[in-house]
Amino acid sequence: MGRKAEFSEKPKKGPGRKSKKQKAPTFTKSTFAPLDKDDGKLSHRQKQRQAKRLQKKVVKKPKDKQPKQVYNSESEDEDVVEEEEVMSSEEEVVQNGKVKGFSDDNKAWLKPKQKKGAEPAALEEEDSDEEEVESEEGEESEDEGKVKVGKLFEEEDSDDDEVPDDNFADSDDAEGEEESEDDDSEAEEEDSDDEDDSDDEKLPIEKANKKLKKQEAEEAKLAEDEQQMSVLNQEIFKLPEDQEGEEEKPITLPEIQQRIKDVTLVLSDFKRYRQEDRSRQEYLEILKKDLCVYYSYNEFLMTKLMDMFPLTELMEYLESSEVARPLTIRTNTLKTRRKELAQALINRGVNLDPVGKWSKVGLVIYSSQVPLGATPEYLAGHYMIQGASSMLPVMALAPQENERILDMCSAPGGKSSHIASIMKNTGVLFANDANRDRIKAVTANLHRLGINNCIVSCEDGCKFREVMTGFDRVLLDAPCTGTGVVAKDPSVKQSKSDVDVQRCYNLQRKLLLTAIDCLDAKSSTGGYLVYSTCSVLPEENEWVIDYALKKRNVKLVPTGLDFGTEGFTKYRQFRFHPSLNLTRRYYPHTHNMDGFYVAKLKKFSNTIPVDNDDDLDEVENVETTVGSEEKVEEEVPETEEEAEKSRKERKKLGKRAGKPNLSEAEIEAKKKKLVDDERKYVAKVFEKPVKVVKKKPVEEKQPEKVSENGNTKKPFEGKKNKKTKTNVSETEEKKSVEPQTNGNAKKFEGKKNKNKKSLPTQKPEETKAPVVPQKPVVKPSPPKPVEKKVVTPQSNKNVKKFEGKNNKNQQQKNQNNQKSPAKTQTPDKKKPEAKQVLEKKKVEVEKLPEKVSQKIKAKMDVKKGKGKKQIGQLKQNKKKVKG
Ligand SMILES: C[S@@+](CC[C@H](N)C(=O)[O-])C[C@H]1O[C@@H](n2cnc3c(N)ncnc32)[C@H](O)[C@@H]1O
């Protein structure tokens, strides 16, 4: 078979290179017999093509009649003509009617079919190796020959430039049609050939690649269909039976994953897949549990997320929250330009890109050979390491040069420095934060970035209106639960609870009202406020804004950010103001950013609505009532423990901080009242210390004992009024300050230190009654351990935030104590009794062998909270007794 078969019989064919190289083989009639059958099965598409070719042939008839002229040319038609020539000797075969359904006009078109062995020559004229292979294949079998013919047919067609490349659209049709495998392959080949009608220039490997891709696409489609079929045919998922009393079977992670898929499927078409006796709620419950286990969330947070997102989106959100967001940096335009910075970093082996069209200063870092927090560029302040989402609030704020702007919660200064750089170091920026430790980072960053229009302060934001108002713009990047940044801090998934959310939105509301009050509605350039959080919970976002809309003369305006999802106007049973759709939400799964929320408000009047008398005492009440109206479940603590916890939280929050005022007159009145209160308080607090210190200076050294028993120190530590300083003698000041110089005590520099001076005053009052005879035991009482004890809890962030409120409560308590000394004496009477018992025990213990007694005493002292020094004293006493 093939060209070798009847090589000698064949007359020389045309002058084309192909024919020179190798001659077309001769085919017997039998070789074509099967082909004819196939022709009868031509697909619709093939028929269409044939029809087109037929038309063209008709047009080209004159050419056919003068083949010789064409023969001599090197035109594109050469091959076609060549084929015609090849076929001329075998015309019988074709004309014997084996190719059905074609007129004589199609002869020329049909010729290629017979050019089985010629195919390789036609196609691969320059590739002699391939020619050989093809020819060998041609010899193998008749069947293969069939295929070859088919291929040739296709390839010839495609080579024929007269055939328009109409196959792009056809390729899909071909898939849809029921064709034999051969037909399919033909179609593929045709498609690929036609797609590259320019194809002649393509390498065979490229062609093969195209074919492969098509095959893959088809396989993928088949697989998909198969999957769908199997889904339809599969057993309907059944919820596990309630097995009361029985232990739950352990379930593996892959099983959970599978169950998540199954339940999701059921919920996607509940009517169809549900079990008759099971409710949607039951499915949701089991899904929630599985998701909690699979993604390591607590049920509280998972419930919130399930409330927020539709099921499919929820899965996307959870998945993308598992992946850390790309590291981004912001160019400090005060010192360099993004292009220059990028170049400098690239030179250091950093692989980066612009963060997106929306920012002119952001760069996303894919990889780096150097630590980005220590490059010379970083140290020189050319950039700030900052999440992409952190740039959004400042962009929304749109600071202007020469404005007066407040960043109410600024630490560690990412957004502050961004604002300052947009202001080009003009105007004044106030960077405030309540956390004294974090504020250091603000100062450091501002220095590094070369910012010199900024005043850094450390005040409770809720009270900032008492510090300063009249700002052109305010940024409130509020403290929050951080539910949007679980990829950064996965502990959030487990640690956040209802109470945390409540605490956050209470604080956020207070801060927001204060921030609005700090704004000047009459500002010629601004009067704008931007509120942002890195939480995705509506309670901390839309709900807070909605509250402010009701309480102040503000309205929502567009953020100016051209991407982001609209804020919620509906969420569960809540209905927020419709303008909340102007706010923007950002999610990891949609924006490849941390979860974030941005709202922009415009203050349109400086007056505060009268009916909104939100003395912040009431703010909490309002919250509770609002919450109880709309959100009963979440406000009511479920267990006793929770109730206790929330009570404690509320205590921490205090009730008196940051009172907003109703009118200017009232502002004045309330300020006066506050000042008066403080004065009264100051006077009362410092009356006694002075007296007592003079009378019983020795007993000042007994604070430890007092604090151990009654913790009476605490109230005084909270008092921070600077005026106290003047009332205390220098010696006392030293005594009280010294112990604070260690560790945490540093945090209480300033106001608190001054207050410490008042400590001795109350100590004597309480130590007046010590009946315990063993004075030496009590005498040395070093203040350090006591100070530590008291200081540690105050170093806690939350406590710090609410120092002010606590102070006031404490002040009142102190006042009450002072007014009714009987109250304070009552516990004192009991305390000595207890001490007596202890001392008796100590004496008994002393009688024991020395080693044992020492140990026991040490333990007893530890229990009492005394330091090691006391053990030493005990030993001394013992020696004395022995002596
Ligand atoms: C989300 S962070 C601010 C991040 C900052 N805007 C930035 O871009 O770098 C929230 C900040 O609010 C501060 N904060 C918490 N309670 C506050 C209060 N009552 N007054 C002022 N700041 C407070 C926290 O110390 C924390 O630094």
Which position has the higher pLDDT, 320 or 90? 320
Ligand 1 pocket, mutate which of 409, 429, 449, 653 (most atoms under 8 A from CB): 409
Q: Residue 245's pLDDT is what?
A: 55
pLDDT confidence tier of residue 183, bands split at 50, 70 and 90:
very low
Mutation test residue for ligand 1: of 416, 421, 435, the one with most atoms within 8 Å of CB: 435
Reported as a single tens digit per residue, the pLDDT across 570-600 is: 998 889 999 999 999 999 999 999 999 999 9
- Which pLDDT band holds residue 702 (cuts at 50, 70, 90)? very low
Evaluated on CA atoms 500, 501, 504, 506, the torsion sign reads negative
- Give the residues across from 351 on adjacent strands: 367
pLDDT average, residue stretch 166-189 = 38
DSSP code for 322? T
Helices 498-518 and 640-653: crossing angle in degrees, nearest 10, is: 20
Asked whether 393 lines ligand 1 (CB < 6 A), one says no
pLDDT at 511 over 90: yes
Q: How many CB atoms lie within 10 A of CB 655?
A: 17
Reported as a pLDDT band with limits 50, 70 and 90, residue 677 is low
Question: Alpha-carbon distance 332 to 328, whole Å?
Answer: 13
* Residue predicted with more confidence, 99 or 312: 312
In this predicted structure, what is the pLDDT of residue 848? 63
pLDDT value, residue 779: 34
Asked which of 262-271, 293-302, 824-833 is least confident by mean pLDDT, the reply is: 824-833
Mean pLDDT confidence for 486-510: 96
Provide the strand spans (E) within 587-718.
596-603
Q: Is 699 in the pocket of ligand 1 (CB under 6 A)?
A: no
Across 110-119, 541-550, 687-696, 711-720, which has the greatest mean pLDDT?
541-550
Ramachandran class of 537: left when φ > 0, alpha when ψ lies in -120 to 50, beta otherwise: beta
Average pLDDT over residues 161-165: 33
Mean pLDDT over 478-487 rounds to 96
In the predicted structure, residue 762 carries a pLDDT above the cut 90: no
Q: What is the mean pLDDT of residues 226-252?
A: 69
| ipTM of the complex, rounded to two decimals | 0.99
- Residue 104 pLDDT more than 50? no
**Per mean pLDDT, which of 277-281, 444-448, 761-765 is the most reliable?**
444-448
Q: How far is the CA of 718 from the centre of ligand 1 (A)?
A: 22
User: Is the CB–ligand 1 distance for residue 519 below 6 Å?
Assistant: no
Helices (H), 483-587: 492-495, 498-518, 542-551
- In the structure encoding, which two tokens stand for residue 882, read together? 């022995």
> What pLDDT score does 90 carry?
38
What is the structure's pLDDT at 676?
Answer: 61
Assess whether the C-beta atom of 397 lies below 6 angstroms from ligand 1: no
Report which of 167, 165, 171 is spatially closest to residue 184, judged by C-alpha positions: 171
For residue 76, is pLDDT > 80?
Answer: no
Q: Is 503 in the pocket of ligand 1 (CB under 6 A)?
A: no
Region of 499 on the Ramachandran plot (φ > 0 left; ψ -120 to 50 alpha; else beta): alpha
- Pick the more confident residue, 641 or 272: 272
Contact 593, 616 (CB under 8 A): no
Lowest-confidence segment of 34-38, 450-454, 619-623, 682-686 by average pLDDT: 682-686
**What pLDDT shows up at residue 240?**
74
pLDDT digits (tens, 9 = 90+) for 7-38: 444 555 544 444 445 554 444 444 444 444 44
* Residue given tokens 């009249």 in the structure block: 470
Q: What is the DSSP letter of 105?
A: G
Residue closest via CA to ligand 1's atom 15 equals: 479
d(CA 474, CA 550): 19
> 787 C-alpha vs ligand 1 centroid, how far in Å?
28
Q: Which of ligand 1's atoms lies nearest the C-alpha of 413?
A: 9
pLDDT at 231: 64
**Euclidean distance between CA atoms 710 and 828, whole angstroms:** 8
Q: What is the pLDDT of residue 865?
A: 57
In this structure, are residues 305 and 292 in contact, taking their beta carbons and an 8 Å threshold?
A: no
- Report CA(797)–ligand 1 centroid distance (Å): 11
Residue 433 Cβ contacting ligand 1 at under 6 Å: yes
Which 3-state string (H, E, C) describes 830-852? HHHHHHHHHHHHHHHHHCCCHHH
Mean pLDDT for the stretch of residues 155-173: 34
- Closest Cα to residue 788, out of 867, 853, 847, 727? 867
Beta-sheet strands, E only, within 266-396: 327-331, 350-354, 362-368, 383-385
Please state, in angstroms and rounded to a whole number, the distance separating the CA atoms of residues 844 and 283: 67
> Is residue 757 classed as helix, strand or coil in its secondary structure?
coil
Instruction: Give dist(CA 120, CA 116) in Å, integer.
Output: 8
> What is the SS3 assignment for 110?
helix
Q: Which residues, other chains included, contact 190 with Cβ-Cβ below 8 Å and sequence gap of 6+?
A: 49, 154, 157, 158, 167, 170, 174
- SS3 category, 25: coil
Least confident range of 136-140, 260-264, 565-569, 762-766:
762-766
For 499-529, b/e burial (b = at least 16 CB within 10 A) is: bbbbbbbbbbbbbbbbbbbbbbbebeebbbb
| Residues 6+ positions from 475 with CB-CB distance below 8 Å | 393, 394, 397, 405, 406, 407, 408, 415, 419, 529, 530, 532
For the chain, give the number of residues. 883
- Classified as helix, coil or strand, 773 is coil
What pLDDT was estimated at residue 873? 72
476 Cα to the center of ligand 1, angstroms: 8
434 lines ligand 1 (CB under 6 A): yes
**What is the predicted pLDDT for the residue at 200?**
65
Phi, then psi, of 753 in degrees rounded to 5: -55, -40
3-state secondary structure 710-741: HCCCHHHHHCCCCCHHHHCCHHHHHHHHHHHH
C-alpha to C-alpha distance for 213 and 202, rounded to whole angstroms: 16
Rounded Cα distance, 309 and 336, in Å: 42
Ligand 1 near 415 CB (within 6 A): yes
- Rg (Cα) of the chain, in Å, rounded? 43
Question: What is the distance between the alpha carbons of residues 148 and 151, in angstroms, rounded to a whole number?
Answer: 5
Which letter, b or e, does each residue of 845-871 get, where b requires 16 or more Cβ atoms within 10 Å of its Cβ?
Answer: bbeeeeeebbebbbebbeeeebbeebb
Mean pLDDT of the chain: 67
Q: Contact 708/865 with Cβ under 8 angstroms? A: yes
Q: CB 170: neighbour CB atoms within 10 A?
A: 21
The reported pTM is 0.52
Name the percent of the chain lying above pLDDT 90: 38
pLDDT at 746 over 80: no
H or E segment and range at residue 121: helix 119-123
pLDDT band at residue 439 under the 50/70/90 scheme: very high
Q: Decide if pLDDT at 642 tops 80.
A: no
Distance (angstroms) between ligand 1 centre and the Cα of 802 equals: 13
- Residue whose entry in the numeric block shows the structure tokens 């053990």: 871
Q: What residues act catalytically? A: 534
DSSP-assigned beta bridge partners for residue 119: none
**Which atom of ligand 1 is least distant from the CA of 802?**
19
pLDDT digits (tens, 9 = 90+) for 543-558: 999 999 999 999 999 9
Mean pLDDT over 670-689 rounds to: 48
Instruction: Using the atom order of ligand 1, give the atom closest to the CA of residue 390.
Output: 8
Query: 807-830 pLDDT, tens per residue?
Result: 444 444 444 444 433 333 333 444
CA atoms of 855 and 280, how far apart (whole Å): 64
Containing H/E element for 825?
Answer: helix 821-846
461 lines ligand 1 (CB under 6 A): yes
Share of the chain above pLDDT 70, in %: 49
Asked, as a colleague might, if the bond just before 412 is cis with ω within 30 of 0, I would say: yes
What's the rounded Cα separation, in Å, for the pair 747 and 742? Answer: 10
Higher pLDDT, 128 or 836: 836
Distance CA 459, CA 253 (A): 48
Q: How far is the CA of 441 from the centre of ligand 1 (A)?
A: 12
d(CA 408, CA 426): 19
If you measure from the C-alpha of residue 131 to the centroid of ligand 1, how many angstroms do you get, rounded to a whole number? 76
Closest CA to 507 of 654, 305, 631, 615: 654
pLDDT in tens, 330-353: 999 999 999 999 999 999 999 999
